[in-house]
Each structure stands twice: as C-alpha cells, then as structure tokens.
Amino acid sequence: MKQGTFTILDNARLARDTFRMVLEGDCSAVTGSGQFVQVSVPGLYLRRPFSVSDRDGDRIVLVYKQVGKGTAAMAAMAPGGTLDLVTGLGRGFDVAAAGERSLLVGGSVGTAPLLLLARELQAAGKAFDVALGFGDAGLAFYVQEFKALGAQVKVATQDGSLGREGLVTDAIRALDGTYDYFYCCGSKVMMRVVSEALPFAGECSMEERMGCGTGICYGCSIPTTAGMRRVCADGPVFRKEEIVWERI
C-alpha cells in the first residue's frame, strides 16, 4: 500500500447521484481490479473506501454514489484540486480463476470495479458477458463501456425503465450463453442471491463499513469458513464458498 497526493483531473456526474472522478498520482501500488483506495476527505476523521473502477497508467477512476457527508464533499470538488489517497488496498478479483466464459454481475454502484476487471479479462483473452441491475434507467452507467469491450450486456431495472423489469437475476436469465465462473459486486443481499442461484464457482466483492482500512482494527470482519476475516485486508473479494452467508 502507498499513501500519496493525487490531482483531480475530472469529477463529473455519471448517473443520478453517481459521479466519476479521475485522479492522477503514483499508482504503483495498484495491482489489479477489485482493489480499493482510501480517500481522506478534508474535515472527516475516517478515510472513505472506494473500488478502483478503471486505470490507465498513473490515472485511476473512482465511481462513487453520493450517500453522506464524505461523498457529498467529493461531489463538490473541482478539477485541479488534490486528495490524499492510500492505494493498493485489499485482495482483488482473481482473473486466473476465469474459465471458458465468465459472468460479471453488477448491482447499482457495485458495477464500478467490474469495468477494470473486464479490461483485465479481455487482455488475458478470457471471454465474458455482463448482467447489471439498477433501480431505474437514471441510475444506470457503464452499459456502453462493457458493450464496447465486445461483451453481451443485459440490464434489469426495478421499474422496467431500462432493459428487463426486475432484478439482476432477470438480467442473468436474459443472457444467451453458458458460463462456468462468475464475478459479482453489489449489495450483500444481491450477492447472496446471485451466489445461491448460480450453480458454478465464483467470487464476490464484499462491503463493510471500515475503520482503519488496513487490517489493524478488525472492525470490518465477516464470518467465513476459515473464521472471521477482514474485508479490507483478507478481501474485499472472497470466493463464494468461503462466505458464511447466513451469518452475514
């Protein structure tokens, strides 16, 4: 992990209450998709964790939903400003685990880290398709980006305003393909439903409120088959069979 000052190159609205921030700085500690950074928001004691959504050299992209005071302050930041980041945190997605054709499943802002994963899968010559679930069309993002990578993309929205009406499991059903591995990021309830519905192996990026974010306080621990494990240091990505869903 590495702490450093990053310059905000862009910070624009991507969807309703959802922003895309491009930051430039020393990204040498960022090793892959599914990892996260901890952002120090001026005036707030605890850093806020965000997945690395995309990366190009020393530039990283964060996609964040405005939910509270930290993300509201971030949404008001202008290009040219700086932020203090700790980068290179967590154990990310395992691209080597992908089989013949993988299924990427994103729920709401949990879609964010799947774009960098998709780029890594493509670079590794691994086939994949994408199923996304959003509340409504105004909250949707990255649909065209996944299509541009050659993936079949299906979307479900709760009100039917984009794609199928329903949940992300309906988007999965709409895909025309045979899959042998999945990668999932979204709410806990969504990831549990997806993990239980899919009859093959896969991995989920877990989310817990974080204190230190670096493995010291154990505040982010979740029950796994190997005992309590820290989302920030042992995860955030865990294999589906590691997670004890009924105790989450």
Q: Which of residues 189-218 bind ligand FAD (CB under 6 A)?
A: 207-210
Does residue 46 sit in helix, strand or coil? coil
The distance of closest approach from Cβ of residue 233 to ligand FAD in the complex, given in angstroms and rounded to an integer, is 11
Which entry of ligand FES, ligand FAD, none binds 49, CB below 5 to 8 A by partner kind? ligand FAD
Query: Which residue in 15, 20, 33, 49 binds ligand FAD (CB under 6 A)?
Result: 49
> CA–CA separation, 207 vs 214, rounded Å?
14
Per-position x/- string for 158-197, each x denoting binding to ligand FES as judged by CB under 6 A, each - no binding: ----------------------------------------
Give the three-class secondary structure for 246. Answer: helix
Among 118, 204, 210, 222, binds ligand FES (CB under 6 A): 210
Is 132 or 210 the residue whose CB approaches ligand FAD more closely?
Answer: 210
CA-based nearest residue to 128, from 143, 146, 140: 146
Interior/surface letters 6-38, b for 16+ CB within 10 angstroms, e for the rest: bebeebeebbebbbbbbbbbebebbebbbbbbb
Q: Which helix (H) or strand (E) holds 106?
A: strand 101-107
Q: Under DSSP, is residue 120 helix (H, G, I), strand (E, B) or coil?
A: helix
Beta pairing, strands 48-51 & 36-40: antiparallel
Angle at 186 between CA 155 and CA 220, to 5 degrees: 175
* CA–CA separation, 132 and 174 (whole Å): 11
Binding piece for ligand FAD, criterion CB under 6 A, among 49-57, 118-126, 196-204, 239-247: 49-57
Size of the site for ligand FES (CB under 6 A): 12
Min dist. Cβ of residue 241 to ligand FES (A):
22
Nearer to ligand FAD, 61 or 179 (CB): 61
Nearer to ligand FAD, 143 or 210 (CB): 210
| Interface size with ligand FAD, residues (CB under 6 A) | 20
211 binds ligand FES (CB under 6 A): yes
Considering only 20-28, 69-77, 92-100, 238-246, which stretch makes contact with ligand FAD by CB under 6 A? 69-77
- Contact status: 198 vs ligand FES (CB under 6 A): no
Q: Per-residue DSSP letters for 163-198? A: SEES-HHHHHHH--S--SEEEEES-HHHHHHHHHH-
CA–CA separation, 240 and 32 (whole Å): 19
Q: Which positions lie near ligand FES, rule CB under 6 A?
A: 210-213, 215-220, 230, 232
Q: Which positions lie near ligand FAD, rule CB under 6 A?
A: 36, 48-51, 63-65, 67-71, 109, 112, 207-210, 236
